[in-house]
Amino acid sequence: MFVTRLISGIVLLAILITTICLSGPVLFIFLLAISLIGMFELYRATGIVKGKVNLLTAVSFLGAVVYYVFVYLHMQDYLLPVLAAAMIAELFVYVFTYPRYHADEVMTAFFGIVYVAVCLSFIYQTRELPDGEYTVWLIVICSWGCDTMAYVFGRLFGKHKMAPVLSPKKSVEGAIGGAASAAVFGAIYAAVIGRYLQNAGNKILVFALIGAVGALISMVGDLAASAIKRNHDIKDYGKLIPGHGGILDRFDSVIITAPIIYLLAYAFG
């Protein structure tokens, strides 16, 4: 199991590195694909999808595709109207097929667009920022770097449970170690690539701060995905990635880290 998890993790990381480096249409298609798969996993987990896509989720998938197209075209001023249009379209389905769908299903369908597709699109949007070819890697450093080091520190020093009911194995010591490690990784990364950045300033301090904040956010993303699984009594969202589960199992921390890194990178120039 460990070997399978390790190999599939390396392959997934290699694919992510390749697509981010190539950027443009390649990264766009990759993120759109995993967003649609992740949405399907969420809808299946919550019971909206039972075997095949229905009209409500089809509208949601279409809304996600349209949103991504507008992101790709750099039409940021229209992104909120696109989301509003997707919600309205879902309400049309809800009203004119009543009582086929429950209100909770409609809300979950829209939540899937925002939680999965919109949030993951910020990987692409971060890549498109000035110096984005460098700052986009902070998303990986904050999420997966923190996750790895939190596990190590938790195993070595963990005594106080962070969320005893939701995730008994996660500790406060692990969380602190993960966040501190992400800050150190961010500082080291800035020291290595700092001379290539267009914008001036103390990038070591800025990247360390972004690393720490992003790491803390990534832990919430991890726990939130776990909470959804607990609510619906499932172990994994899928079996697409051997040893890891589904897209949401592997990208759970990345999902809400990406928009935060985008905002911080944008704010710090």
Per-residue pLDDT tens over the stretch 159-203: 888 888 888 888 999 999 999 999 999 999 999 998 888 765 688
Instruction: Count up the domains in the chain and report the number.
Output: 2
Gap between the Cα atoms of 211 and 140, Å rounded: 10
Gap between the Cα atoms of 156 and 175, Å rounded: 12
Are residue 184 and residue 76 in the same domain, yes or no? no
Give 103-132 pLDDT, tens digit per residue: 999 999 999 999 999 999 999 999 999 899
Nearest of 180, 174, 179, 203 to residue 191 by alpha carbon: 203
**35 CB-near residues (< 8 Å, 6+ apart):** 64, 68, 116, 117, 120, 121
| Surface-to-core class of residue 177, CB atoms within 10 Å of its CB (0-12 exposed, 13-18 middle, 19+ buried) | buried
Are residue 242 and residue 136 in the same domain, yes or no? yes
Gap between the Cα atoms of 258 and 217, Å rounded: 10
Flag whether the pTM goes above 0.75: yes
Task: pLDDT band for 51, please (50, 70, 90 cuts).
Answer: confident
Are residue 252 and residue 196 in the same domain, yes or no? yes
Are residue 109 and residue 134 in the same domain, yes or no? no
Among 127, 147, 169, give the residue marking a domain's end. 127
Are residue 115 and residue 174 in the same domain, yes or no? no
Are residue 32 and residue 12 in the same domain, yes or no? no
Among 109, 127, 145, give the residue marking a domain's end. 127
DSSP-assigned states of every residue in 179-217: HHHHHHHHHHHHHHHGGG-SS-S-HHHHHHHHHHHHHHH
When pLDDT is averaged across residues 91-102 and rounded to a whole number, the result is 97
Are residue 17 and residue 30 in the same domain, yes or no? no
Are residue 18 and residue 31 in the same domain, yes or no? no
pLDDT for 3 beyond 80 = no
Are residue 96 and residue 164 in the same domain, yes or no? no
Are residue 32 and residue 122 in the same domain, yes or no? yes
Are residue 1 and residue 109 in the same domain, yes or no? no
Among 127, 149, 184, give the residue marking a domain's end. 127
Task: pLDDT band for 62, please (50, 70, 90 cuts).
Answer: very high
**89 CB-near residues (< 8 Å, 6+ apart):** 59, 62, 63
* Domain interval for residue 66: 24-127
The residue among 213 and 243 whose pLDDT is bigger is: 213
Are residue 35 and residue 12 in the same domain, yes or no? no
Nearest of 16, 13, 9, 31 to residue 244 by alpha carbon: 9
Q: Any idea which of 127-131, 135-139, 145-149, 200-204 has the lowest mean pLDDT? A: 200-204
When pLDDT is averaged across residues 30-48 and rounded to a whole number, the result is 97
| Surface-to-core class of residue 188, CB atoms within 10 Å of its CB (0-12 exposed, 13-18 middle, 19+ buried) | middle
